[in-house]
Structure 1
């Protein structure tokens, strides 16, 4: 994603001091100490999370339920009102951001996060947390612009015992500083041993989903095991291609040379009950609606890439 800008490793601020050395001085400083989660780990939030994610794993319900591991950060969030300016809040992170702003790196984008799980969280656990500014990178040049990556590490504890760590990385950058190179080809999907069968089906103009051989549960996207019963035994079955728009977004930004925004990306509920993300075609982006019936077709993007998309049946009726 990025490369080192050798000429900018030792950038200077307007006062002539070494900017990078000043940024590095913040490494190891606390961003939050003695933070306390607003709520105990609870069944309601777990249920809402699982419903939003479509996760029906039996481990997340019932008297012995645990929270989904990926909820780790959710229990530390302050919501719209925040955690306030209590004694656990440090000014170091705000000072670092202000220093970067003053040097011209006024834009920000989240780049990635990493989580490590050490013990399951259960309803009733009291969450506490602390965070530290783990690293500030040398100046980097990216497609967005030139700036510095800032990584924070949060340690999350349940009833005083370390439950996991959450690393969050942002890029503070100067907008428009990088030269964009034109890109004409669509991104190619990553094909691995878990989803190769799906793409083999696409090559034959078939939409294949998985069916657990133990409990019969259908699933998509392709996974190595059943989320309902845990079985690793499955078979591929061909979907009918009929479905409805369960939800959708209209993409305006960021623009990519290979795409022509605005365009609609839909969460399609297939007739078989599973859902998949794909483009909705055959109707203007601002006419896509939840509940709209759609039918599968295959779109040839280039000589090497063909993708399953869904055409609005309303467009077929208007043409007829």
Structure 2
């Protein structure tokens, strides 16, 4: 018998009630809110060198040794020919290919709204890298603007450990 089950004086099993519950927002259909917490174990597997690089202030992409395609966001296999790729270090200096201003975001970014997302472009790299741009008002962002990668001092081993700022002229 579990700790939540009790036997009463008549020998019947009764489930013990708890003083927890949910907040009901709607009845038809039922919409409710309740707290949920879990420890999550996650592996970056083949992408681990990318996240290790972020913790060291480095950006890593990948290159196909067969067809020469290069990827700003690393790939385990080439999107063009399917060959296994190799790691390559990317420069910290780049430019903005395009951008968008976000006026709503997930919980992680909600306090920062509005914020700017950019597609980062490097010479001789075939794909772009999505990241945040900090230190520039949304109306001052320009396509082609030179930017530089910066990294959180205390790595969380997340894609948000890297962000970009305007390159100082």
Could you state the TM-score of these two structures normalised by the residue count of structure 2? 0.68
Q: Note the C-alpha offset of 1:208.
A: 0.6
In the alignment, is residue 276 of structure 1 matched against residue 129 of structure 2? yes
Structure 1 gaps, min length 5:
12-18, 20-137, 143-178, 182-189
Q: Report the counterpart of residue 285 of structure 1 in structure 2.
A: 138
Instruction: Flag the 1:303–1:280 CA change in 2: closer, same or farther, 3 A.
Output: closer
SS of the residue corresponding to residue 45 of structure 2 reads coil
Q: Deviations over 1:112-148 (max 9, x none)?
A: xxxxxxxxxxxxxxxxxxxxxxxxxx52325xxxxxx
Match of 2:149 among 293, 296, 301: 296
The question of whether the paired residues in 2 share the 8 Å contact of 1:194 and 1:222 is answered with: no
1:131-186 superposed Cα distances (whole Å, 9 cap, x missing partner): xxxxxxx52325xxxxxxxxxxxxxxxxxxxxxxxxxxxxxxxxxxxx9x9xxxxx
Task: Verify the 8 A CA contact 1:241 1:270 in the aligned structure 2.
Answer: no
Q: How does 1:196-211 map to 2 (within 5 A)?
A: 196-211=48-63
In 2, the alpha carbon distance for the partners of 1:257 and 1:200 equals 21
1:246 pairs, out of 79, 94, 97, with: 97
Within a 5 Å distance, the mapping from 1:28-107 to structure 2 comes to none
| Higher RCO (CA-CA < 8 Å; seq separation 6+) | 2
For 1:63-105, what per-residue CA distance to the aligned partner results, in whole angstroms no more than 9, with x for missing partners? Answer: xxxxxxxxxxxxxxxxxxxxxxxxxxxxxxxxxxxxxxxxxxx
**Superposition RMSD in Å:** 3.1
The C-alpha deviation readout for 1:176-229, integer Å capped at 9, x for no partner, is: xxx9x9xxxxxxxx7521321110111121111111122221113222211111
Query: Which residue pairs with 2:86 in the alignment?
Result: 235
Gaps of 5+ in 2: 1-20, 36-41
Q: Deviation at 1:251?
A: 1.4
Higher helix share: 1
